[in-house]
Amino acid sequence: MFQIFCIFHKSIVDECYSQLTDEELSYITFIAVNETIPKEYSTTRPYKFIKEWELPQYIDYHNDGIKEASVLFHVYRNKLHEQYKWVGFCHYDMIFKKDSINDINKLIRLFDINDYISLHNETYTNTMHRSWFQIYLLAIIEREFPRYFELQLNRENTIPLFNAFIVHKNLFKQTVEFGEYMLPLLYPICVNEPNRTDYGNFSCTFERVFGLVLAHLGNKIADFDVIHDSTIRV
């Protein structure tokens, strides 16, 4: 019924999934990114994983600092989501609890098509202004969003961050299609001087592009009940 695509750069960390049964692990597909980093993972658990760079439809954005945002584009372009009704994303440093998978299964049985779960939401002001200083990029996003969706921006909405959420595949499609629309508008500014200000500019930008769509077209009904442990460094 659902599948979570878990993004990792170097390692699949056993402790993050130690409370899950092997059957529950089948709800997670690990996606390895950045071919230049050697990968480490245990062979004692039935982890299923995909190497992003081996997908038929693949563009290497990693030298441009896209980080995890590339996975959303590539899952969509390669239609990896289409066999599931609900699709989710998380990261290597998120710890699943004993009941995480069971609770998600219970929740999505009650979902409407526009409902979603997310790990962390922030106010519009904190997300789009105070915590992020790329004003020239923000202006393009705020200009194009109402044009594309024929919706006014609602600055009372909270915005899901971290690309950690579970949504219906139709809402995922709408989310990434807006990302595809914005890509040629934002990509050159994100990756080229003099506007590029840091390596993660691309990633931070599209985290907000995706989050805006979920905030305006979707309805958050619950937290994504995993523990985000940012001290896990791999």
Q: Per-10-residue mean pLDDT for the chain, 234 residues long?
A: 94 96 97 92 94 95 76 97 97 94 94 94 80 73 96 92 94 98 90 70 86 96 90 77
- Candidates 103, 65, 72, 97; CA nearest to 200 is 65
Q: Which helix (H) or strand (E) holds 118?
A: strand 115-123
DSSP label at residue 14: G
Give the pLDDT confidence score for residue 191 in this predicted structure: 79
Match 């024929």 to its residue by tokens: 150
Tell me the DSSP string of 15-78.
GGGTTS-HHHHTTEEEEE--TTSPPB--SSS--EEEEGGGSSS----GGGT-TTHHHHHHHHHT
**Distance (Å, rounded) from C-alpha 86 to C-alpha 108?**
8
Give the pLDDT confidence score for residue 124 in this predicted structure: 87
**Distance (Å, rounded) from C-alpha 78 to C-alpha 6?**
16
Give the pLDDT confidence score for residue 15 in this predicted structure: 94
Give the pLDDT confidence score for residue 130 in this predicted structure: 57
Give the pLDDT confidence score for residue 44 in this predicted structure: 93
Instruction: Please provide the size of the chain in residues.
Output: 234
Give the pLDDT confidence score for residue 229 in this predicted structure: 86
Domain boundaries along the sequence of the chain: 2-228
The highest-level CATH class for domain 2-228 is alpha beta
